[in-house]
Each structure stands twice: as C-alpha cells, then as structure tokens.
Structure 1
Amino acid sequence: MSSTTSNVKYHASRAAESKPLEYLARGGFIGYGIIHLLFAWIAFQVAFAGSGQDSDQSGALQELAGHSYGKTLLVIIAIGLGAMAIWQAFEAVIGESGPRNRTAMAERVLSGARALLYTYLGWTAVKVVQGSNASMGDNNASMTAGAMDSTGGRWLVGLIGLVVLGIGIGMAYYGFKRKFVKHLNTGEMPANSRESIIKLGMAGYMSKGAAYAIAGLLVVVAAVNYDPEKARGLDAALKTLAGYSWGVWVLALIGAGIACFGVYCIAQAKYRKI
C-alpha cells in the first residue's frame, strides 16, 4: 500500500471515529425509520384507497412536508442522512481489502452504495423543503425516456432493470440469511427483545427486496415495450401490484414489511455498530 493511500485511510479512520458524526448518524437512522414508516402508510393507502401519491421514499418525504412541523423535521432528517452518507463513505475507504478477503471488499462496495443512497435521499429531502419537484418516479421515468432515445438506450435501460432486479433478490437473501446482524451490537440488546429486533430486520429487508425486484422487472418490461412510465421505480412496482385483486394483499404484506424495516431502523439508532 502506498504512503498516500495509507495517509488517506488514516485520516478517514480518525474522522469516522468522531463522536459528533456518530451521534448525527444515529439520529439519521431515526429519520430513515420515519421515512419508511410513512412509506409503509402510503403503500397501505395505495392498496386500499387507490391513492395516486408517489409510493416511494420521495412520497414519504412529501407526506411529511404537508404537516406544520414537517419542513423543520425534513431539515433535521436531511442532516442525519448527510451524516450517514459521510460515515458510510468513510467505511468504504477504510474497510479491509485484499484478494483473500472478498467479504470485506464486498462490504466496502455496499458501504459506498449506501453512501450514495443516503446522499440522494438527503438531497431529495432538501428539494422537498424548497418546494421543487422531488418525485423519484417522475425523475426515473424522465431519465428512462431520455436514455431510450439514444443509440442502444433500450439495452442500457434493460441492463439497469436486471441490476435492480438482482439488487432486490440480493436484499431479500440478505434479510432471510440475517446477514445484517453482524452490524448490530447484539450483546447490548435486552435478551427479551433481541430476537424481535432481528425478525423486524428480516421482514424489512425481505419486503424491500421484493419491492425492488418487482421494480427491476418493470424496468426490463419498459425497455422491451418502450414504455418509460413503467420505469418509475418503487412507485410503479407498488401501483402495479395494486392493480390486481391478489396484488392488493401482496402490497399490504410488503407495506407491513416496510413498516417493520422502519421500526428496525429506529432500533439501529441505538444498536448499530458505528
């Protein structure tokens, strides 16, 4: 390892150990949990009331903004998500790597992906506060339409759909095999609630994985049929389910699982290893 790389990792490690960053990141988990609880509530509304609201994280942020205290809370959530993004970026830099440690390398890649996700959600929260269009579904559809108009664009969109499908399957497997438990300080959990928290995480990851897998499949369908509206991400996935009599109940189960994930995120604020 070069001296420059070692120096970067040293300073990143020192920064990652910052107590203020830890406290902000833990607060971010609470905000992330609130987003998913609102996301679940919107999923139930789509399932049983035919709501046309964006049924994804951006819809949850817009729901929150509609309350008198909403914009203040959104600013707090955005700060927490920013701290989570910085923390995960540091994890991506300082994690162990090497040809004999593929698991550690995979964790660094996942940390980088989480950093991008938290950054995007934080940026979306800021846009909602500013009153500008922050619909993830509209943005996804617009970008898909633009990509399809370029040479080879439909192939690219189809490939992205397959990647999202794979992410969804991987997320469900991650939850089913309880791989997230290694990131928790389980020894600090009360014995009578430890298993309940883990089961909330399992239900949450598996439900989110199912939603992402359906979203990815719809993106592939959008590429095949040249229909950008099918590529609205989670919003299209959940509303497509709501269009079938059997799908309403599947959507309700996914909504319940997403609510479980929201509660799990709030538990992570205390028990996550940071």
Structure 2
Amino acid sequence: MNSTAMARSGRTHAERAARGSATEGAARAGLTARGVIYLLVGILAIQVAFGDSSRQADRGGALEEIAQHSFGVVVLWALAAGLVGMALWRLSEVVFGAAGQDGRKARKRAMSAVRCVFYSFVAYSVIMFAASPGGGGGGSSDKQSRDVTARALGLPGGQWIVGLAGVGVVAAGVWIGVRAVRRKYHDKLKLGEMSRRTRQLVDVTGVGGGAARGLVFATAGVFAVRAAIDYEPDRAKGLDDTLRSLAHTPLGPWLLVCVALGFMLFGLFSFALARWRKV
C-alpha cells in the first residue's frame, strides 16, 4: 500500500471514529444540556415577568438555580460534560464535515467552527461555576456584554466594530427565526422514526422556540447598535436585560411571558434533537 492510499485509509478510519458512537453520544449529551439551560432560563424569565426582580434570567441565573438544590453540583458537572461534548461534536464537523449532503461545504464548516468556539466558552463558564458554585463562575450576561462592548469601543474604529457586530447579531436573529418558521430543521431530523403526532409536537417546539430565540437575538443586536451609535457601553444588554426590556414594550409583561414560553419550547426542542437529530 503506497503512502497516498495509507493516508486515505487513515483519514477514513479517523472519520469513522469521529462519526462513531462516542461522538454521537457527546452530541446528544450536549443537546440535552442545552435543553436544560434553556428550560430553566424560560422558567426564570416567567418569574421575572410576574414581578420577581431578584431572578437573573440567563445562563448564570440557571446555574445558580441548579446549585441551590441537593445534588446541584453533580448536575452542574453533568451539564459541563454535556457542553464539552457539544463543543467536541462541532469540532468534528469542522474537521470531517457535518451530516447531510452539503455537510462538507466551507460554509457549513465555518458555522460549525463558530459553534465550537461558542460552546467551548459556555462549557468553560459552567465548569468554572461547578468548581466554585456561587462564586460567580457563571457570570452575569449583562455585565459581560457591557465589559466586552466597552473594550471594543476603546479600540481604533471601535464604534464601527460594535455597530457591525450588532448588525450581525440582528441578522443572525432574523436568520434563526426565519429558518425556524420555515422548519428548516427537518433536514437534520430522522423524520422517518417519528409518528405524525410526534412530528407535530416537535414542530410546535421547533417553530415556537426558534422564533423566540430569533427575536431575542435580534433585540440584543439592536441594543448593541445603539451602544455603538451613542458610544455608551451601558446600552449594550446581555440576555437578562434583553428579556427584561421586552416587559417594557406596549404589550407589557405578556411579550416577555411569550418569549419565556418560547425559550421553554426551545429547551424541549433540544431534547427532541437529542433523540432524533442526525449526527
């Protein structure tokens, strides 16, 4: 066997390993962990909508909620392990391509790379919180957003950087919402293994959850653009402040309730993906 054939054989074995049961298990554990976090954030947001201002409706608040219960630390470490699995799964997609006919395209690999970086950061924050529950490892999304915006505004051309980033987040929110409404996620699901009733229920969670995520992303992007225009880092908002801002619209707290329910639906949708997603 020549060197070219050996290299091809080695790559084939590596790709099979990347798509093997270990990677599939890591992906499904990561999707489950994401579902738990979104479900808790949705519950916290509903409490905020009904006047409980002490709640922090973001990932940090969800981690604090878990830590307050017995076996909370065990659950935190389980979530951290799941999110590490999610990051490794996305890394395997960067290297070997994602599932599906166009999974090897550069655009798909680039999106997987972005998701890998994002979930690596999320996993790190959960690990830090699990190592020291209540020590601030989860962090406030609002403070993080303001700090990052302040540092970016201090760079040469900082207003343009923050403004363009905000526009990008708005575009991402619209993209997420439109794809959810158009049910683009069907391409990633093992629809043949679902009954008609199950598909209908999954669509409720996928459309409702995706639309809610898209709205929140787009709203956060608008705040970032305003921060750039006004040169005021405090105008940038994390997830908690973005959700709270929805309660101050003409629709009052009911818009926040709807979005909170949407987040809970997305948590359930993540559980569905953990069961039926193609990996």
User: Which TM-score applies when normalising by structure 1?
Assistant: 0.89
* Matched residue, 1:241: 246
1:225 and 2:230 correspond: yes
Q: In the TM superposition, what are the counterparts of 1:47-66 in structure 2 within 5 Å? A: 47-66=49-68
Distance 1:8 1:157 in 2: 44
Q: Residue 230 of structure 1 contacts residue 236 of structure 1 at CA under 8 Å; is this kept in 2?
A: no
Q: Deviations over 1:156-201 (max 9, x none)?
A: 1111111111110110011011111111111111232112112211
Cα 1:258–1:12 shift into 2, 3 Å: farther
1:250 Cα deviation (Å)?
A: 1.3
Q: How far, CA to CA, are the matches of 2:258 and 2:276 in structure 1? A: 26
Partner in structure 2 of residue 203 of structure 1: 208
For the structure 1 residues 144 and 17, does the alpha-carbon distance in structure 2 shift closer, same or farther, using more than 3 Å as the test?
same
**Runs of at least 5 residues in structure 1 that lack an aligned partner in the other structure:** none
CA contact (8 A) 1:12 1:90 kept: no
Q: What does residue 132 of structure 1 align with?
A: 136
Closer/same/farther in 2, CA of residues 102 and 196 from structure 1, 3 Å limit: closer
- Cα distance in 2 for partners of 1:244, 1:5 equals 60
Partner in structure 1 of residue 112 of structure 2: 111
Query: Alpha-carbon deviations, 1:246-274, whole Å to 9, x = none?
Result: 24211111111111110111111111111
2:273 pairs, out of 248, 268, 271, with: 268
In 2, Cα distance between equivalents of 1:102 and 1:269: 19
- Structure 1 residue aligned with 2:20: 18
Letter in 2 for 1:218: F
| Residues 1:212 and 2:222 aligned together | no
| Map 1:67-216 → 2, pairs under 5 A | 67-95=69-97, 104-129=105-130, 130=132, 131-133=135-137, 134-216=139-221
- Check whether the contact 2:33–2:82 (CA below 8 A) recurs between aligned residues: yes
Could you say what the CA RMSD is over the residues aligned between the two structures, in angstroms? Answer: 2.4
Q: Match for 2:195: what amino acid?
A: P
**Residue pair 1:219, 1:233 contacting (<8 A) in 2 also:** no
TM-score calculated relative to the size of structure 2: 0.87
* SS in structure 2 at match of 1:141: helix
Contact 1:65–1:128 (8 Å) recurs in 2: no
Shift, 1:239, TM fit: 1.5
Aligned length: 269
Task: Evaluate the alpha carbon distance shift between residue 144 and residue 76 of structure 1 in structure 2; reply closer, same or farther with a 3 A threshold.
Answer: same
Percent of aligned positions with the same letter in both sequences? 34
More deviation, 209-218/21-30: 21-30
Q: Distance in 2 between matches of 1:247 and 1:152?
A: 37
* Cα separation, partners in 2 of 1:105 and 1:176, compared to 1, 3 Å: farther
Is 2:63–2:129's contact at 8 Å kept on the other side of the alignment? yes
Aligned to 1:45: 47
